[in-house]
């Protein structure tokens, strides 16, 4: 299996005035194609900053980050946008769907920025929605008419629509009750079983337990990186 994520001594330092704060202190790890990894840590541990770098929303201060074989640590803003559009599918805690806009149009949004032909958009949109567990009866509903669990599955469909190398989910169950959260996590497991690479950022032990590998971060360092077979005995592609 090839490496989707390859981080070597990635650091991130924020400077406010004269005070420099190093949030990430030289992280080195790889994530292979087909893995389902949970990055877990308390707030202030640097996991959000790591997620921004993994999601090409930000560049590391030093070190190298390769996404799907391409070095993205030194790209310009527009090149980063291109990488995000084609390689990464984001799932956010607060869904971030456009209100008053249909489910279909919400899912199609990333295709607008990759100039996908109109004819292909419908096909991909419907495939992504079915894949994320939404049935066709909701396709023309407005996004604000849906329940929280449905909204997050629409958001997952939006993350899938460009067929990305990596799905990056930031506290995807944070705004959901346990039951709908469970459905969303099962959706991720299903997608992972179909071969999708998923990185899930969370502070919640229970949520992290759905992944096949858990990376624990504390104060900008990796303190634990282990396979998790409590839920899934059939493990794939673990970098032991």
Partner 1 sequence: MMIRDVLTETYAALSGNKARSGLTMLGIVIGISSVIALVGVGQGATSSVTSSIANLGTNLLTISPGASRNAGPVSGGFGSATTLTQADATAIKSEISDVSAVAVELSRRYQVTYKGNNTNTQVIGTEASYAGIRNVTLSTGAFITDQQNKDYAKVAVIGPTVRDDLFGVDADAIGMTIKINKIQFKVIGVTASKGGSGFNNTDQYIYVPVSSAQRFLAGKTSISSIDVQAANQKVMSTAKQEITTLLLSRHNITDSTSADFTVVNQADLASSLSSVSSTLTLLLGAIAGISLLVGGIGIMNMMLTSVTERTREIGLRKAIGAKSGDISFQFLTEAVTLTFVGGIVGVLLGWGVAVGLTMAGIITATVTWTSVWLAFGVSALVGIIFGYYPARRAAKLKPIEALKYE
Sites of contact with partner 1 (CB under 8 A): 52, 55, 57-58, 77-78, 81-82, 84-86, 90, 92, 96, 98, 100-101, 105, 109-110, 112-115, 118, 158, 162
Nearer Cβ to partner 1 (140/231): 140
- We find the least distance from the C-beta atom of residue 46 to partner 1, in angstroms, to be 14
- We find the least distance from the C-beta atom of residue 1 to partner 1, in angstroms, to be 26
For residue 206 the two structure tokens come to 């229970």
d(CA 196, CA 17): 42
Nearer Cβ to partner 1 (101/218): 101
Nearer Cβ to partner 1 (65/213): 65
Q: Which residues fall within 8 angstroms of residue 20, CB to CB, at 6 or more apart?
A: 13, 14
- We find the least distance from the C-beta atom of residue 155 to partner 1, in angstroms, to be 10
- We find the least distance from the C-beta atom of residue 211 to partner 1, in angstroms, to be 22
Please report which helix (H) or strand (E) contains residue 213, including its range.
strand 213-218
Residue 235, burial from CB neighbour count under 10 angstroms (0-12, 13-18, 19+)? middle
Q: Which residues fall within 8 angstroms of residue 123, CB to CB, at 6 or more apart?
A: none
- We find the least distance from the C-beta atom of residue 106 to partner 1, in angstroms, to be 10
Nearer Cβ to partner 1 (108/202): 108
d(CA 225, CA 7): 14
Q: Smallest Cα–Cα separation from 159: which of 55, 35, 237, 77?
A: 55
For residue 103 the two structure tokens come to 């489910």
Nearer Cβ to partner 1 (160/215): 160
Report how far apart, in Å, the C-alpha atoms of 143 and of each of 68, 157, 177 are. 32, 13, 19
- We find the least distance from the C-beta atom of residue 120 to partner 1, in angstroms, to be 13
Sheet of strand 19-32, all strands in order from the earlier edge strand to the far edge:
19-32, 3-16, 62-67, 70-71
Asked whether 143 and 164 are in contact (CB, 8 A), the reply is no
The CA-based diameter of the chain, rounded to the nearest angstrom, is 56
- We find the least distance from the C-beta atom of residue 60 to partner 1, in angstroms, to be 14
Nearer Cβ to partner 1 (94/205): 94
Nearer Cβ to partner 1 (79/229): 79
């Amino acid at each position: 299996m090839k490496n989707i994520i390859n981080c070597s001594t990635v650091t991130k330092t924020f400077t406010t005035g004269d005070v420099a704060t190093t949030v990430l202190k030289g992280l080195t790890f790889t994530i292979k194609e087909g893995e389902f990894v949970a990055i877990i840590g308390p707030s202030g541990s640097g996991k959000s900053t790591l997620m921004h770098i993994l999601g090409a929303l930000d560049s590391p201060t030093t070190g190298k980050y390769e996404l799907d074989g391409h070095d993205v640590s030194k790209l310009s803003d527009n090149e980063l946008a291109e990488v995000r559009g084609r390689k990464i599918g984001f799932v956010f805690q607060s869904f971030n769907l456009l209100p008053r806009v249909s489910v279909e149009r919400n899912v199609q949004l990333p295709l607008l920025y990759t100039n996908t032909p109109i004819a292909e958009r419908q096909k991909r949109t419907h495939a992504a929605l079915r894949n994320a567990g939404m049935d066709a009866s909701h396709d023309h509903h407005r996004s604000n008419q849906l329940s929280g669990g449905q909204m997050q599955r629409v958001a997952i469909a939006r993350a899938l629509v460009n067929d990305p190398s990596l799905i990056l989910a930031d506290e995807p169950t944070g705004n959901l009750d346990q039951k709908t959260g469970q459905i969303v996590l099962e959706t991720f497991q299903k997608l992972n079983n179909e071969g999708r690479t998923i990185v899930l950022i969370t502070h919640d032990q229970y949520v992290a337990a759905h992944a096949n590998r858990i990376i624990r971060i504390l104060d900008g360092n990796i303190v634990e990186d282990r396979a998790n077979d409590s839920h899934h005995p059939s493990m794939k592609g673990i970098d032991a």
